[in-house]
Structures are given as structure tokens and as C-alpha cells.
Amino acid sequence: MVINVKNLVKRYGDLVALDHLSFQVKEGEIFGLLGPNGSGKTTAINCILSLLEYERGDIEIFGKPMTPDAYDIKRQIGIVMQNVAVYTELTVYENIDYFCGLYVPDKALRKKLVQEAIEFTGLNDFSRFYPKKLSGGLLRRLNIACGIAHKPKLIFMDEPTVAIDPQSRNRILDGIMELNRQGATVVYTSHYMEEVEQICSRIMILDKGKAIALGTKEQLKDMITLGEKITVEAFSITDEQIQSLKSIPNVLSVHYSGNLLVIQSGKGRNNLEAVLDFIKKEGIQFGKIYSELPTLNDVFLEITGKELRD
């Protein structure tokens, strides 16, 4: 195990920020921490990294207890913080070189690593720029470059894609997967479920400091009763036909509004086929049909009764 967290409890006064949190991160995986804002993702990372005091719990990284002066462990860790943490007085190159130099004293090696980080994050054309001259997306990339230039074995990425354009976001997500392919274990926090679904091998969903679900995305979706949601652009459907649709096996609910027929089915096979058969048999005129599998938001909704984005 790369990370082993047992019974972690962190309070801010009366507020329990982390409530007996336990999980493990395996070598070579991209481990996702998913939860709404305030669910405890960043607090968990800061406790793991020994920045924050906590009331209870044991934290081990690379099999050793994590403490503020565990410099051997820190040397193998890279951090991409939620806020951009760079010096405004230094250029892009200087910022990366400065932070890389705190891990890598050898000048020649460092020069090579800094150049690689610049190329990896696509900052080649901006290496002499000061942070104030960079766009939000480029700043995020600089933030990442400062965290990964020294080639760490374990990388913590705390919401690295907040408030950036889709192009930069895709580049960052591709970069994270590339780092993982190169051998880095990644702990990735986000409240964007699409990102987590896209890149994470295992996902832990947090709510109010508690782990409410943990597994691969398939395992998480298997935890809930929902199956696919079928949406049909249909015209002139009668109340009787809606009642008949509800009686189809495995159909959980049917809504019809504005020529859109939405059928939520439970877990099971051939749900779409059964609905299409019914539409044909009844001679209902229809346009587009599409089917959506349950999302992590559905998982969160079913477990907590609220939307992930609330």
C-alpha cells in the first residue's frame, strides 16, 4: 500500500470535518476523492500530508508513519494544491526550478527535469513569463509543473481543474493519466464527477467527512437500484399509455412533459428493448431516443438523498 489511513478524525470546534475515515491507496492507481464542497476532501489530504493537526487516526505513507519531518517520505511526494501556489516575482521557469530544487540538489539533473515539466505541461512558449501574465488555465498548468517536476512517486492533486477552460482541463486530465502510466500513484480530489469517472481507477465518495462509498466506478454504480434512464422524443401519448409503460417489468418511473418521455428503469437487462417494443406496438410517433447509464451523481443521490453538486 502506498497510503494507509485508519480511523482519521478531525474536528474544527464542534464541526466534525473527518469522521473516522479509513481507506487505502494502492501503488499505481489513480485514487479519486469525490464529494461536494465542504465534504472534507482537502482536509483529508492536508491531514495525510501532516499539515493539519487531527484528533485521532493513523496515517502511513510508503509503509512509514507520516509526520511533519518525515523528509524521506516528503521527497517522494508531489503536491498540486487547490489554489495556485507560485511566486509572482519569479518567472514560470524560475518557479518550477525553485520548487524542483528543494527536492533535487543536482543542478544538471534539475535543469533536465524542469525542461521536461515545462514540455509536459505545454508551457514551452511561456517559460519567461511572470505568473501575472498567464491565463487561468496556464496558471493551473504552472501549478502542476511545480508539483511534479521532481518526478514524485506519489502525487496529490487537489481540484487542479477548478475554474479553467475545457481545453486546459482536457490537457490536465490527459497529463494525469500520462503521469500514472509513467508509474506515479495519484490521489485526485474533485467535485466534478465526470472527471473522476474519466480518470480514476478507484473512487471514494465523501460526504460530511464520512466515506459513504468506495470502489471502482462500476462497483459504485452496482451499489444502487437504478438502471439506465431512457429518454424518447415522443408525440401524443395518452395517460393510458403512460400507465401501460409503468407496468413494464423493471420500469421504476415514467414522466411525460413537453414531448419528452423519460423512463427510469431499475437494474437489469433489455430495458431499452422492452420500451421500444411497446412504442412500436402502440404506434406512437417518436423522434430521437437515447439511453443514459447511472452516474456517480445518481449513486450520491441514492445514498445521501441529495445531489452531488448541492
Write down the least CB distance from residue 272 to another protein, Å: 49
Write down the least CB distance from residue 155 to another protein, Å: 12
Write down the least CB distance from residue 205 to another protein, Å: 23
Of 185 and 265, which has the nearer Cβ to another protein? 185
| Contacts with another protein, residue ranges (CB under 8 A) | 12, 46, 49-53, 67-69, 71-72, 74-75, 77, 79, 81, 83-87, 89-90, 94, 97-99, 101-103, 105, 146-147
Write down the least CB distance from residue 13 to another protein, Å: 10
Residue 40 near residue 18, CB atoms below 8 Å: yes
Q: What one-letter code names the amino acid at 91? A: T
Cα gap 156→78, rounded to integer Å: 6
Which single residue is written with the C-alpha cell 527536492?
Answer: 103
Write down the least CB distance from residue 154 to another protein, Å: 12
DSSP helix/strand/coil, 157: strand
Residue 145 near residue 113, CB atoms below 8 Å: no
Torsion angle defined by CA atoms of residues 127, 132, 136 and 138, in that order, rounded to the nearest 10 degrees: 0
Write down the least CB distance from residue 181 to another protein, Å: 24
119: nearest Cα among 56, 178, 55: 178
Of 150 and 171, which has the nearer Cβ to another protein? 150
Of 57 and 215, which has the nearer Cβ to another protein? 57
| Non-local CB neighbours of 223 within 8 Å, separated by 6+ positions | 213, 215, 299, 303
Phi, psi dihedral angles at 85 (to 5 degrees): -115, 80
Of 126 and 156, which has the nearer Cβ to another protein? 156
Cα gap 105→87, rounded to integer Å: 20
Of 85 and 248, which has the nearer Cβ to another protein? 85
Instruction: Give me the DSSP letters along 60-75.
Output: EETTEE--TT-HHHHT
Of 12 and 235, which has the nearer Cβ to another protein? 12
Write down the least CB distance from residue 186 to another protein, Å: 16
Residue 43 near residue 93, CB atoms below 8 Å: no
Of 79 and 187, which has the nearer Cβ to another protein? 79
